[in-house]
Amino acid sequence: MKALPDLLARFPELELYREGDFIPVPQEVATAMGNLFKAAIHERRRVRDDVAALITDDANANQVAVSRWIESRNYFVKWAHLQECDVADADLPSDDELREHIGVFEELLDGVVTAFFATRHSIDDLLAEINATEEGADA
């Protein structure tokens, strides 16, 4: 990304926004664009994998829950950057719409939190049992 301004400065005649179905670009620019596309694909896959690891039992990035999480996350990211666009008050999301998207996170995280605390309590029980056994062996 940091190299793009210098790359484009080397081709001042390049018109990426002109009319037409095909726009010829120098090989170096095409290669840079290809690398950006690959990076975007990799990033999307990484995000899906991370979400799947967080909210699913089997880290399956194709589960509907993963898509729901990402859609709601994208919704909030969109509304978090209002300084980049001029939005009329009437176009802002309603409280009900916000609650709906917050509900997705609550629903999906509930399973994660429940499993976390269940595991934590199991570990606490196991440690208590081990400590009781060791105390009994010392007596």
Domain edges within the chain:
4-13+24-138
124 CB-contact burial (10 Å; exposed 0-12 / middle 13-18 / buried 19+): exposed
Mean pLDDT of the residues in the chain: 87
At 68-114, the pLDDT tens digits run 999 999 998 888 876 667 778 888 889 999 999 999 989 888 888 88
DSSP state of 26: -
User: What was the pLDDT predicted at 120?
Assistant: 85
Mean pLDDT in residue range 114-133 = 85
For residues 11 and 88, the model is more confident at 11
User: What was the pLDDT predicted at 51?
Assistant: 92
**Residue 61 in tokens:** 């990035």
